[in-house]
Amino acid sequence: MVDRSNGYEKVAEEFLACRGSGRSAGIGAAEVREWARRLPQGAAVIDLGCGAGFPLTEVLVAGGLEVFGVDAAPSMVAAFRRNFPGIPVACEAVQDSMFFGRSFAGVLAWGLLFLLDGEEQERLIRKMAAILEPGGRLLFTAPARAGVWDDMMTGMPSRSLGAVEYRRLLAEAGVRVVGEYEDAGQNYYFEAVK
C-alpha cells in the first residue's frame, strides 16, 4: 500500500509513545488553547494531520468546539478513534481530502505543512483558505526560515518555504496574517484570518 503519511505510519508506535500520552500538557497545547479561545463557542474546526489527537484535538474539544480530523496514517487514525469515539475523522491525505465537504470557523495544521513538497504546500494553503468561513481563523506551524532538512522521526525530507513566502501565499489566498509566534519546542506559528 502506498504511504501518504510521509513516513508517519511506519513510526506511529514510536511517535505515539512520546506524543500520544502527553494529554493536554504537551508542546503546542498552550498556543492552540489560546487560539481556540478566539473562536466562537461550538464553532466547527478541522484538525489536519491530527495524529492520535493528544494533546491538540483534546484542547479543541475541551474548548467547546465541534472538531473534525484528517490524518493519512491508518495507525494514527485508529488511535484517534479510540481516544475520541464519535468525533469524525477521515483517514486520507490532505492533498486528496474534500474536508468533509463543508466549511469551518477554524483550520489547524500542526506539524504538517512542511512534510509536503513545495507545490503541495501552496495548494494546501489555497485549500485551507477556501474551506474557511469569512472571519474564520487558520493556524499552522512551519519554520520561519526557508530550508530543507530530514524529519527527526521519519528521516524523510521536510521543507519550509520561509515566512516571507508563507505570508505571500496566505495574502494571495485571501487570508491576513494576524500573528506569528514560537512555542517551547521552537515550533513557529502562522495565525491568519479570512
> Rule CB under 6 A: which residues touch ligand SAM?
4-6, 8, 19, 28, 49-51, 56, 70-73, 76, 93-95, 110-112, 115
CB of 134 to ligand SAM, least distance (A): 26
Closer to ligand SAM by CB, 23 or 176: give it: 23
With H, G, I as helix, E, B as strand and everything else as coil, classify residue 86: coil
Instruction: Locate all alpha helices (DSSP H) within 38-175, ordered by sequence.
Output: 56-62, 74-83, 118-131, 163-172
Closer to ligand SAM by CB, 130 or 164: give it: 130
CB of 162 to ligand SAM, least distance (A): 19
Closer to ligand SAM by CB, 44 or 46: give it: 46
Find the Cα–Cα–Cα–Cα dihedral 119, 125, 127, 132, rounded to 10°: 180
Q: Which H helix or E strand runs over 67? A: strand 66-71
Cis peptide before 143 (omega within 30 of 0): no
CB of 88 to ligand SAM, least distance (A): 15
CB of 75 to ligand SAM, least distance (A): 8
CA 102 to chain centre: 17
